[in-house]
Amino acid sequence: MTAEELQSGYVFLLDKPLDWTSFQAVNKMKYKLKREFNLPKKFKIGHAGTLDPRATGLLIVCCGKFTKKIPEIQDAPKEYWTEIKIGVQTESYDTEKPEILQQDFAHITQEQINEALGKFVGEIEQKPPVYSAIKIDGQRAYNLARAGEEVEMKSRKTTIFYINDIKIDLPLVSFTVGCSKGTYIRSLAHDIGQELGVGAYLTQLRRTKIGDYTIENATADFLENEYRFEGL
């Protein structure tokens, strides 16, 4: 890899670790590349699809002229390995906020869970989480929510292509979900809990695929490896 190649266009597949924002990961990458290859100040770099801090997995970073590919990559279908916990909820629909509204789930059967999951395959109406980066009157929804303000999220159409590899070990349920751009898996977890009547929230999320790019080809050492990029 050379500075010329990076500026002509390069795609990195990163395995984003837990509790890093996508913005932090790209900034770290930019700093290291500029330091390693003496790149100009205006070197272009950006990610093709945000991952929440509490999610791990595939983050695609485009450099140089390949930043033009970002919209195309963002539009591609996504795949996630997902784990939810039923019988309890959180305000953020994930592990950012503490558990609330615990309910008895002893009556819930595997058949009911499989049936509930099946109802979400296809085109669905989904409300994004209040704790999301969507802008409302110019402000991020999560900033408004964290300030204690009432936030009304509008429903939007999204598509769940499949839910498979379902494993049930109550109160935990894990599965692989394929979905269209703009799907919030946190909202899917919450909505599954509402369908079951006992609540649920997202405990783990790992993005495994974007279009033809897969997590198997991603590197997890970009944060630890201070200078060299042979593994990318």
**Which CA distances in Å does 76 have to 14, 18, 69, 211, 212?**
17, 23, 11, 5, 9
Question: Does the predicted TM-score (pTM) go above 0.85?
Answer: yes
Q: Is 192 exposed, middle or buried (0-12, 13-18, 19+ CB in 10 A)?
A: buried
pLDDT, mean of residues 34-45: 87
How far is the C-alpha of 199 from the C-alpha of 191, rounded, in Å? 8
Average pLDDT over residues 147-170: 90
Region of poorest pLDDT, from 35-39, 58-62, 186-190: 35-39
Bond from prior residue into 77 cis (ω within 30 degrees of 0): no
| Band of residue 215 on the pLDDT scale cut at 50, 70, 90 | very high
Residue 19 DSSP code: T
Residue 227 confidence (pLDDT): 33
The whole-number pLDDT of residue 221 equals 63
pLDDT at 228 over 50: no
Query: To the nearest whole number, what is the mean pLDDT of the chain?
Result: 89
Active site residues: 52
| Statement: residue 59 has pLDDT above 60 | yes
Q: Is the pLDDT of residue 208 over 90?
A: yes
Bigger pLDDT: 229 or 79? 79
Residue 211 has pLDDT above 60, yes or no: yes
